[in-house]
Every structure is written in C-alpha cells, then in structure tokens.
Amino acid sequence: MSSHRSAVQSPDSDLIAALDIGGTKIAGALVDRDGVLFHRVRRSTPAKESADALLDAVYEVVGSLAANPLWGRVRAMGIGSAGPIDLARGTVSPVNIPAWRNYPLVESVGRHPALSRRHVMLAGDAVAMTAAEHRHGAARGHKNALCLVVSTGVGAGLVINGGVHHGITGNAGHLGHISIDFDGDPCPCGARGCLEAIASGTAISRHALALGWQPPLTADADATAVAVAARAGEPAALAAFDRAARALAAGIAATAALVEIDIAVVGGGVAQSGEVLFEPLARHLRRYAAMPFLQELRAVPAELGPDAGLVGAAVLAAAGVPAVTTMLVDGRR
C-alpha cells in the first residue's frame, strides 16, 4: 500500500482543507482537486479528556492549516470522523472518544475564525476513505465497490451506481458491525459475533495469543508482530490471519450478494500485512462468493495509505456531498 502524493509547489487550483479525526490522531491537510496534499498537520487525540479539550485540539490543527500561505485558496473544509455520525445534525459519537456523544462537530468546527464563510462538511472516516479510493485509488473506474479499513476496528463504505453511498444517517456500509457468528463474543456495540471482533487487528493478536503465539520480547503483541510471525510460518499466527480473512471474506461476499459490487478494496494497518492476509482472503472469498454473478468479485489492497481519510474528506467537500451538512459559520445554510 503506497501513500498518496504530497507536493511543495504551488497548486494550480482551489484547495479544500481536510480533517481526519480518530481515536489516536487528528490529521489535517490542504488538498487539491487531484488529491495532492500540499500541507500536513498532525497531533495526538486527547481521547480521554473533555469535549472542550478535544475541540481545542481540533482548533489547533485548523489554526496550523490556516497559518499556511495557501489558506487563501481554501474554499471549504471536509471532515472525516470516527463514528457513528449523524449527517442531518452534523454530530458525531465516536466509540473511542467518550466525551463526544451526539457532539455538534460541524457547528463547533465552523465557529473557528479561519473558517469564516467557508462550508464545513462531515463524513464518516470509512466513507471518506471510500471516496478517496473511488476517485484516486484502487476502486477508480468501478461503479459498485466496497472499501474497508481494517485496523483496531473494521470500518467500511459503499460505492453504488458510481457514487459514494452515505445512507440515511451517514453510516451506510458499517460492515464491522454485522454479526457473522451467532454464538460469538459480545461486541462493545451491543451485538454479538460482529465481524470487527474477529477480523480487526486487535482480534487477530488476541486470537494468536490464545492459540499459543509468543510475541518477541522486543515487539508489541499486535497484529504487525503477528504478521511477522505468520510470514515466518508460525502456525498460531497463520491461523489467526486465516480466521480474520475468513470473516472478512464472509462479510464481503454477503455485501456483494446484496448490492452486486465487483471489487472490495481493503486498507488500514492490517492490510499492510500483505499476502498473509490477502492470500487466505482470496481463497475464502472464492468459497463464499459462490453465486454465478459473483464470480468476478475480488479483494485488492488500497492504494492511498494513511492519507485516504484526508483525500476523501476533501473529495466529498469539493463535490458538495452530502449537502445536508453544509453549514456557514454565520449559521446560514
């Protein structure tokens, strides 16, 4: 998986300011119409602090972007945020940011002085990644696609009939929280046997440890270390990745049967494991995608790397989608 392009030369078009807000980091960038990043800012998310402290951290990133000489070319801001989100209200309730529950993110960010008379638009982080991969990455040219972020959780978004599908509240394609194991463990979302509880990086390392994998003393017991062990042929590590790949294949095949996608783009930290994930994923996908109209379905690595959320937030803001969250700082819609 490769990172998207960055540039230092002046852009030849207007820019979109983009934010990517997650449980561990708040990233910002200025992005042009080709998805090129001209300025980057990043700081840690104070996820356990108050709502005001979190907004201060976001303002710090916005302020740093606004200090760039290119800011005068910015015509809107797009935000990709961990969710769930509510597009109609412009609010977010990220699972891993406890202080933000039904938090009015669009309104709050829009109050920043630098955003005077600039549109602020919101999308879920996985939907933003989907927009980026559809416009500039591995789903380019596909009218129907599923894009997944497999990391500490599992997020996803859909492209249907050539456009990113947000759904009623902005959470369409939430594949990580479909139940694929009726007798599985409880999930923090309240359901049981969710895909995320089997296929996330956290689940992979947990299952490898349960099977007897011993992480090296010099490495964290995370999915990256499990991938190293799997590439070395360690049975417990291979089994953990096979289990995750099987769960992902079942979810992808079910989605494809429902809406007839022909490609699944898989990004996030776990996708960087390479063939230890994608080889069993392809094998299990052939097993689960059994209907004749699913024969062309394939899963491929994402192309844009960690920049996808920023690029996608900019893509959606530039397109004016979804218009229901468009807001000006003076309160007019």
* pLDDT tens across the length of the chain (333 residues): 444 566 556 666 799 999 999 988 999 999 999 999 999 999 999 999 999 999 999 999 999 999 999 999 999 999 999 989 999 999 999 988 999 999 999 999 999 999 988 999 999 999 999 999 999 999 999 999 999 999 988 999 999 999 999 999 999 998 999 999 988 988 878 899 999 999 999 999 999 999 999 999 888 999 999 999 999 999 999 999 999 999 999 999 999 999 999 999 999 999 999 999 999 999 999 999 999 999 999 999 999 998 999 999 999 999 873 433 434 444 333
Residue 103: strand, helix, or coil: strand
> Any idea what the CATH number is for the domain that residue 320 is in?
3.30.420.40
Same domain membership, residue 171 and residue 27? no
Do residues 282 and 313 both lie within one domain?
A: no
Residue 74 lies in a domain: yes
Provide the sign of the torsion angle of the four alpha carbons 15, 64, 10, 3, taken in this order: negative
147 and 275 in a single domain? The answer is yes
Give, as one character, the DSSP assignment of residue 164. Answer: E
Answer for the pair 16, 78: CB distance below 8 angstroms, yes or no.
yes
> Does residue 133 fall inside a structural domain?
no
pTM higher than 0.85, yes or no? yes
- Residue 15 bridge partners (DSSP): 74
Distance from C-alpha of 131 to C-alpha of 75, rounded to nearest angstrom? 19
Half-sphere CA count of 199, side-chain side, radius 13 A: 34
Closest CA to 125 of 98, 99, 164: 164
Q: Report the number of distinct structural domains present in the chain.
A: 2
- Residues 102 and 165 occupy one common structural domain: no
Give the full edge-to-edge strand order of the sheet including 145-150: 163-165, 154-160, 145-150, 263-267, 298-301
Residues 188 and 116 in one domain: no
CB 114 within 8 A of CB 105: no
Buried-exposed string 172-195: b where 16+ CB fall within 10 A, e elsewhere? bbbbbbbebeeebeebebeeebbb
116 and 55 belong to one structural domain = yes
Range of the domain at 117: 15-127+308-325
- Residue 63: phi, psi to the nearest 5? -65, -40
If asked whether residues 272 and 314 sit together in one domain, one would say: no
At 86, which helix (H) or strand (E)? strand 85-86
